[in-house]
Amino acid sequence: MAIHLVHVRRAPREGTTIEPRDERRLAELAKAGDEDAFAELVRGRTDSVVAFLRRMLGNTEDARDVAQLTFLRVWENLPRYDPTFAFSTWLFRIAGNLAIDALRARGTRARTLAESFRVVRGGLLATEPEAPLRLSQEEIRRVFDACATVLSEKQRIVFVLRELEEKESREVAEIVGCRESTVRNHLFQARRLLREELRRRFPEYAPAARPGAGEARA
């Protein structure tokens, strides 16, 4: 299957997306042994899987390596895929589990780099509207790389999926394999821990403490 996984190493292709219905059909064909259908799935999902893993692992090279392993595991386990569920949910569950394994093997609990400025919009690095703080993307990476050490593996994957990947709580629960209430709890704790760590280590960037702020979206 290495011939199909080579797509992970190529540069991103513009507009390579697959509609969920088509993706499920391709997954069913791949499950029946159609390697061309599987190659199409790899092409359609490589960018999103690598982006997710980069946020989990902290660098592109590790993300690509784990993405390769992810698609290999998907191919090996296609006979177990239940087409009544979204293929993307199953795919991200495998990718997430492999990312956690990689983090544990690396001997660190957090190498998460928030490459998206959506986190700033979410309030974790927010400042008062009348005094906007201008931060470079590299500075945001540095701050989050430092602060994310306080998160457990489950808190990290929930935070990345919900806040950075902007997936709904229901889908996050399916990917992680838990209840939506557990997702909300992990997300609540992750936001709280990140804010506390931000205030402790980088008080100049921390938003003013507001009871209950930032917890509404779950």
**CA angle, residues 92, 184, 198, in degrees to nearest 5:** 95
Q: What is the pLDDT of residue 148?
A: 79
Confidence (pTM):
0.68
The model's pLDDT over 9-40, given as tens digits with 9 standing for 90+, comes to 443 444 455 676 789 899 999 999 999 999 99
Query: Which of the four pLDDT bands, split at 50, 70 and 90, describes residue 116?
Result: very low
Domains of the chain plus CATH, in order, are 2-106 (1.10.1740.10), 118-201 (1.10.10.10)
| 100 CA to centre of own chain | 11
Q: What is the pLDDT of residue 15?
A: 42
Q: Which residues, other chains included, contact 27 with Cβ-Cβ below 8 Å and sequence gap of 6+?
A: 37, 41, 78, 81, 83, 87
**CA angle, residues 105, 197, 140, in degrees to nearest 5:** 80
Q: What is the pLDDT of residue 2?
A: 45
